[in-house]
Amino acid sequence: MEFMAIVDAKARTPAGCAVVGIYESEELSTAARQIDKQLAGLIAGLLGSGDFTAKLGDTLMLPLADGSTASRLLLVGLGPRATFGRRQYRKALQASAQALAKTGAGDAMIYLALEPVPELDVQYRARMVSEIFTSHAYKIPDLKTSPKPKARRLSTVHVATADARGEKAAAEGLRVGAAIGSGLAFARDLANLPPNVCTPTYMGNRALQLAKEFPSIKTKVLDAGAIKALKMGAFLAVAQGSEEPPRLIVCEYRGTRKAVAPICLIGKGITFDSGGISLKDPPAMDEMKFDMSGGAAVLGTLRAIAELKLPVNVVAIVAACENLPSGTAVKPADIVTTMSGQTVEILNTDAEGRLVLCDAITYSRRYKPAAVIDVATLTGACIVALGNHISGLMSNTPTLAQELESAGLRADDRAWRLPVGEEYVDQLKSNFADLANVGGREGGACTAGSFLGKFAKDLAWAHLDVAGTAWVSGAQKSGTGRPVPLLVDFLIHRTKAA
């Protein structure tokens, strides 16, 4: 899909569909008033008759006569002007994308970005357009054998702006949003594939393909022998129950001088999590194919920043394996030695994510990183605490935590800070090893984060628990790609601050 910003005065060329917003109480937006004049009051008449109430997210498609600005006009309800904000703007865009997908329109002129939105400048309003329209066009990998209907795809989206300055800002926003959409699609594809396809080896191969596509990315994929040579005993313990070999995926993105310390993004890549010997309940176990969503997100983020050519150095590290029960699987009460040299008593084999991540965090030290951020579908306790709307955020560095929180707000991909500390580490005490891998039900998300924090000592480190946000269940079951928008926004603002 191609996106283009254009000054409204120039936007008089015919488009497949013009999209304008209408506020409740029969209040036309600026663009709607201009178009209504061309249509001899058609829009005002519809509002006056009650045929369109303009409630938030409502849409009405109108065919237009030959010679009009467009062959069709889409009216989108914005709700009351007094309450119109970023959430309402996002919902209006989503409704627009959904309505346009049901038409044969190949191109559209979006006037919604002309509307003022508190806390969103022109660049962010345009960025939201391309991100939402790209995401809406996403199709899950379809392995069905039934004939596929011919897709009618919207190919070109123009965004109207008020002036040349706004046009420049909107063009940059559209570029960023499209790259985020591309990164989201990459992450979602990995997460949505079945686990017999998206294995650790497959994830490694997709990372190698990224390096072929982008010269700024250098990828290496370490096999079980190389992982063993690194003395990653915790990572290998999780992998030992499966016949699928583990992979440590390392992608280095170079966007600036080599001497600049990189940001390390670490992803949990458990391509299927049965729970191991501590077997999960059967209902919804199929969704454990999504347990590699953290790894998918860091690779999707890497793709987005490579498309944007961000002037930053980033290393993406994904610890990928399966967690299965077998005669060779790790057992409760086993003790393993991590890459850091610390020993861990495994009391619950279903608390495996922290085991692969702790070794990956230790591995990241060789890059002398400016910051380390791990992303994982780590704990059900985080879902209990925050639901499915907001990711959990833990950190030993307040400034890093604030950067990530702010990025989540800007990107509409929010994270909420939860505590870590020695109080929670005390719950992880073991009579037999330096740490246990679980600490009881109380504060489960915080004990998991505090476990990782023990391996991030002296690093600027943050942990994102995306167990509640990485996928949606139900009839529309699918990976979401989160927190790609948050991470990309964080990295963009890091480059501005440098």
pLDDT tens, position by position, 367-414: 999 999 999 999 999 999 999 999 999 999 999 999 999 999 999 999
Global confidence as pTM: 0.95
Q: Both 168 and 191 in a single domain?
A: no
Q: Both 240 and 341 in a single domain?
A: yes
Q: Both 222 and 157 in a single domain?
A: no
Q: Both 188 and 251 in a single domain?
A: yes
Q: Residue 14 above 70 pLDDT?
A: no
Q: Give the pLDDT confidence of 302-346 residue by residue, as tens digits.
A: 999 999 999 999 999 999 999 999 999 999 999 999 999 999 999
Q: Both 8 and 115 in a single domain?
A: yes
Q: Residue 221 above 60 pLDDT?
A: yes
- Last-in-domain residue among 115, 146, 173: 173
Indicate which CATH number applies to the domain containing 424. 3.40.630.10
Q: Both 464 and 349 in a single domain?
A: yes
Q: Both 386 and 442 in a single domain?
A: yes
What 3-state DSSP class applies to 219? strand
Q: Which domain holds residue 231?
A: 182-497
Which residue numbers are catalytic? 280, 354
Indicate which CATH number applies to the domain containing 140. 3.40.220.10
Q: Both 458 and 330 in a single domain?
A: yes
What 3-state DSSP class applies to 88? helix
pLDDT at position 35, please?
83
Q: Residue 358 above 80 pLDDT?
A: yes
What single-letter amino acid sits at 366? R
- DSSP assignment letter at 470: S
List of residues 6+ apart from 396 with CB closer than 8 A: 420, 453, 456, 459, 460, 461
219, 358, 395, 431 from 299: Cα distances, Å: 11, 19, 22, 39
pLDDT at position 259, please?
95
Contact present, 429 and 491 (Cβ < 8 Å): no
Q: Give the pLDDT confidence of 53-74 residue by residue, as tens digits.
A: 889 999 999 888 766 667 889 9
Distance separating alpha carbons of residues 68 and 125, to the nearest angstrom: 26
Q: How many domains does the chain contain in total?
A: 2
Q: Both 231 and 293 in a single domain?
A: yes
- Last-in-domain residue among 127, 148, 173: 173
- Last-in-domain residue among 173, 208, 235: 173
Q: Both 314 and 389 in a single domain?
A: yes
Q: Both 189 and 75 in a single domain?
A: no
User: Buried (b) or exposed (e) across 184-204, using 16+ Cβ within 10 A?
Assistant: bbbbbbbbbbebeebbbbbbb
Q: Both 226 and 338 in a single domain?
A: yes
